Structure 1
């Protein structure tokens, strides 16, 4: 039985005996690195999201990097993205000595604001990277319309967005490339891992070659009976391949993805109901024309209704044994980007304002009903204790 002194982690992977058995079977097969299991995983994932090609890699960072490389991004180019994201989205642009051009976010969804993208486009702009924050798809239709007008590819950072939909279509089948993450905290996991999805055969071939040292196609087969010791290096590539051990886990997780997503949605619904009538916080909005993956539950505090700030709220949650996080510290206030590009917090006011009031609560498919209740009870207890309007009313009555 849990009590306030037992620490409930912010994230916990949902791993069962099926995943364990699949990894053990991969180990016993004698083939540990990229092989047949990885190629099955790619085929199954492509079928699931409805794309023609899926390339398994060792991280979403690698997926983003390879996507930009396949598009020929070079020094001095510009790539439009959002400040409200993790480090990887912009750092892959800097790998090419290109410049990330940040566009502020919509305050409701925290996704990139399509209405601000066109004004950021210059002759140096070569691509757009929208990010599906928390697992809710951004406004792809207007983004694609802008991209098509200017002849720009769209690379979706879908690290949070499996399984998610937009306008009835699955994320993974809609843009030039879509990049997924299978990190340990994500909606499905391979421990570390990622996937590039595309309908462009040339991009897919380029990503496959560059993911494994720039060696000519199907280099992994050189240690099989079907392969040859001869190989050709066509480009100086990278070491981004996914192992069969990870893919074995991924295949099981993929088969459970729908059920795990449903459990996350149930937890989100519990949170929404619990906090709906509290004016000291604002709930995340789930838009009706898309399916939310619920990778994150992003509660936002209303500072004018609380006598403590966001950081103190987090401290009190952790003191009560609830693991929480903040998503995200905007790129433009990190030292590297602030110093290189001269950004200030107010350079992207919506990103900064939403970050300053955001708390991500635990939401994962292995959470028990008791754990969900514990989170809601502790959050409500702290919120109501420091609810400024309530305290002022009580003081006036006294």
Structure 2
């Protein structure tokens, strides 16, 4: 059996929605993007949502609009996809890596506060593979030190923190719509905020800082000319992507329920397999299960990478746990001690989990996983 690591699922109606956009003749950013933004904001409980090309550009714009620039520092976890740090670099600022909580793999508030300097402009907690960070702790730190909070919520649409949806909190949040995330537009990102002035500026910055939107120009009853009061970028989403996103958003509850069901099956199975540690579940949050992160004990006769290799031979695709950015050549020379980050990057494996993964395929993953570890334990 061949089991892919991830695969997007479409629920019907997407082809018709795309055909309607094509027939309308308006395929760039336009009315469908606006409809998707409104629906997204309503779903997460935010006042405003701003669509972008991807989560990296969303993070870049959110940091830039928060005042992050050359000479500044932004505290981020090293245990994250490299885009987290790259978005800081794209602002001309320096990412400062702090360690994570060893249970949640989220940025540790205590380590974060220790990393603050006079140059710190912002803190960027990551909701690791869909598990919300301890946001109240970060808001308290931000208030004490006068620094902005920007959430990397790439995997977190549908997650809640203390009963509140991620995206509705007091900070700006940035979501990913990549095919490996909870819902997808192929490529795409979204920024949510409750600040109307900030939302207006972000909408301008994503379109070269133009002070006149496409919709406003289209609906004008007289000749109008745009102007450019500051410099910006082109990070616009297309109406074709937005049409797909609206269909995916309608299926979000079904997607989350299926991810939760599959995670529960993995949790039950892991209890009887030696050397494995199931994901930790804090009582303050409900996660999205964007990925299932299994920890392989350092006492295991098979280390994480060898286990991945054997599963691949069986036809089961896995991925390493979240990367440690400071180990990458792109950030060579970073002198930082992050023991919890390094242990997690070394020991965590991500198993296949996605809507459309059949029980027979998941049972095969579990059986192969158990077979390799039980055989090694008995040897």
- Give the shorter-chain TM-score range: over 0.9
Report the CA distance between 1:286 and its aligned residue. Answer: 2.1
Distance 1:300 1:29, change over 3 A: same
How big is the shift at 1:84? 0.5
Indicate the residue corresponding to 2:18 in structure 1. 23
Contact 2:11/2:251 (<8 A) preserved: no
If the length of structure 1 is used for normalisation, what is the TM-score?
0.92
1:385 equivalent to 2:371? Answer no
Alpha-carbon separation, structure 2, partners of 1:16 and 1:331:
35
Structure 1 residue 220, shift from structure 2 partner: 4.7
Partner of 1:292 in structure 2? Answer: 287
Q: Structure 1: how far apart are the matches of 2:137 and 2:121?
A: 17
Distance across 1 between alignment mates of 2:211 and 2:193: 20
Indicate which of 44, 51, 70 corresponds to 1:49: 44
8 A contact 1:181–1:194 mirrored in 2: yes
Give the corresponding residue for 1:109. Answer: 104
* Residue equivalent to 2:357: 367
Moved segments of 4+, more than 4 Å: 223-229
Deviation at 1:250, TM superposition (A): 0.4
Q: Corresponding residue for 1:138?
A: 133
Q: CA deviation at 1:175?
A: 3.2
Query: TM-score of the superposition, structure 2-length normalised?
Result: 0.97
The answer as to whether partners of 1:221 and 1:228 remain within 8 angstroms in 2 is no
Match of 2:149 among 139, 145, 154: 154
Which segment drifts farther, 77-86 or 366-375?
A: 366-375
State the secondary structure of the residue aligned to 2:286.
coil
**Pairing of 1:306-345 with structure 2 (within 5 A):** 306-339=300-333, 341-343=334-336
Of 28, 33, 41, 1:38 maps to 33
Change (3 A) 1:383 1:20: farther
Task: Give the Cα separation in 1 of the matches to 2:204 and 2:79.
Answer: 31
Task: Name stretches of at least 5 consecutive residues in structure 2 with no aligned partner.
Answer: none
> How far does the alpha carbon of each residue in 1:65-115 deviate from its partner, in whole angstroms, 9 at most, with x for none?
000111121211011110100111111111122111111001111101112
Paired residues for 1:240-279 under 5 Å: 240-279=235-274
Deviation track 1:122-158 (CA, whole Å, cap 9, x = no partner) reads: 1111111000111110111111111111122110000
- Aligned pair in 2 of structure 1 residues 376, 201: CA closer, same or farther (>3 Å)? same
Contact persistence 1:183–1:193 (CA under 8 A): yes
Distance 1:217 1:230, change over 3 A: closer
Partner of 2:67 in structure 1? 72
What displacement does 1:278 show?
2.5
For structure 1, list consecutive stretches of 5 or more residues without a partner in the other structure. Answer: 392-398
Work out whether residues 302 and 373 of structure 2, in 8 Å CA contact, stay in contact via their aligned partners in 1: no
Aligned residues between the structures = 379
Checking the alignment, whether the CA contact within 8 Å between 1:219 and 1:231 is kept in structure 2 is no
Q: How far 1:221 sits from its partner (Å)? A: 4.1
